[in-house]
Structure 1
């Protein structure tokens, strides 16, 4: 060992360094991932290399016995980072490769400045960097490794190491490109699986649409035909009855149109817009008039200046009113209904209030009983556009539905 160094560390110091090295190895193993076979393999190889480097250091360099475990660990332990941080591991190994020849003399008969184990660790880390790191980092690490071997390799061995390091880096890059190709192939296969799943869903939606058409659309069409032809088929039809048939036919046609729209959605693949527009705020007067024709006493109140709303908000307003009016007619027959649209600054309040029905409960069936989901559906529609929804019985035996929606 070179002169001018301080006193040799004590045996206690050596034991402390050994304990720290073991703890560092165990900690690195835990960080790399407990229970993984590749991690177990890296730790096992590191320990084997360390077991080789420590006793053979005394035949390659002039190192005091107390420093041998530390110097050997400095050369070998960077291999623990080969799976997670190979560039950092290579930097530590390269720093050790620079310091060892400067601090410690080689023994006679040994020409290389590093142990064979140290060289193997640097080569493994260079290969890992070529496979895992960015191309610019690969270029820096490759160039630095070549310069390091040119500077320290004995005789003309530097040229041979240059060829070998180039071949090793090229092999790592080929493995890297192979892994990238396999990853891209896996992604393409995943996309194909998703496309097959989407086609299966579309086929199922088409089947449902076909069944709905056979079950619902046919019968609704028959209702429309019967309602329109009843005044001509039945004798002595009064004007009031004729108006009822006209109202029934108009409601059935509207329901049939909405069923056809839903069937179009089920048959579509989700990538093309539907040609049938959804109802919006501009069709609310038609909805109220349709309820009046059906015998519901609807009183409309508009507060403030109506403003333009988005399609989503308009559809939500229409569906909430549609469901509320249907609930009023079903659960409170004969009761007056007040529809109130209050326009404010950036919001619109939609409320439907019905009185107590004649001989029927005014409170709608709760959503969790008898399959009813009207209130829940209205609440979800209001929440989907950023609004609030509330529904509750009134003290006079009626029921109130209120939604506050953004008007912009």
Structure 2
């Protein structure tokens, strides 16, 4: 019973394989075989080199037709030359139909005229047609064409009798070696293209994820900044009525409304922060700690110096208080730029310039040429994305590029409103 079931299962598997093969032949060779599929020009080439494949096919067609006329210099030879040349030329527009036309010429040559189906030029033409079709379609087409060509040769041998030499064995062996090589190269090329496309998609997704992570970090930091100011508003609104004697009821009600709105805004902020931090609750070791400002830059630079990086810090312009979001973003930009120097330019000298100018804050972090090779870093270039996100959020501008001496420079400008607005 078990043996019978095993044999039955094996038979069903073989039938499924046979049906799949027949379906593949039908789809590749019989479904709209004469569809118009022009050979596209080579991309990214010169004006004339783009058409090299087309010129090569036309030249091969002319050579095959001239060779056929030399092999049979007669009116019948002209017809034979058309039979071997037309399929080659047709591969430029209808590749599968060109193979069927080449197969049809075999019957005309081998059955109607009684000559050998594969003359030397006919053999070259049919081989070239199969190679071009394999390149232009898919690798498995080589197997179908090889099998049907061999079957056609065997059929012609049976039809014409045992004394009729079709040359099927020679053609089958030669075509098998050539088509296997062409299909292997085509499959390898497609695999490399798929790997390159997948790598590009992976890099794009990685960049998007980096941007989203940076935006999440910015949202967390801005929460602390906004929450601080909203807390101050709520406290001052609550304390304001007690600073004035005989406060009018309307004014007390207005301060109460301000306080209630501030507390409601704080509640919403905490709710949003809970959602943002839910995926990574340990993003900050101390979520209650104040966010850094430009006043913390000297400590940051000293920390980087202790890691072995020579850093020069220069501040120009009149130092003045800036909005907390601007100072936080400036600090993070300098921090990320120095981290990039540590990762990608070991042994280089760095310079940090902070410029307080009219209308904003200028930042410049530049480093020289490294004195040794840097270790591979999987996040190369993604820190720049985060810096661009911060600058773009504030409506500023930023450049990040290599310098002429082999170093790297990050320059950013963060716009700031009027002094009174900044103090507020």
Bigger Rg, which one: 1
Report the TM-score when normalising by structure 2.
0.45
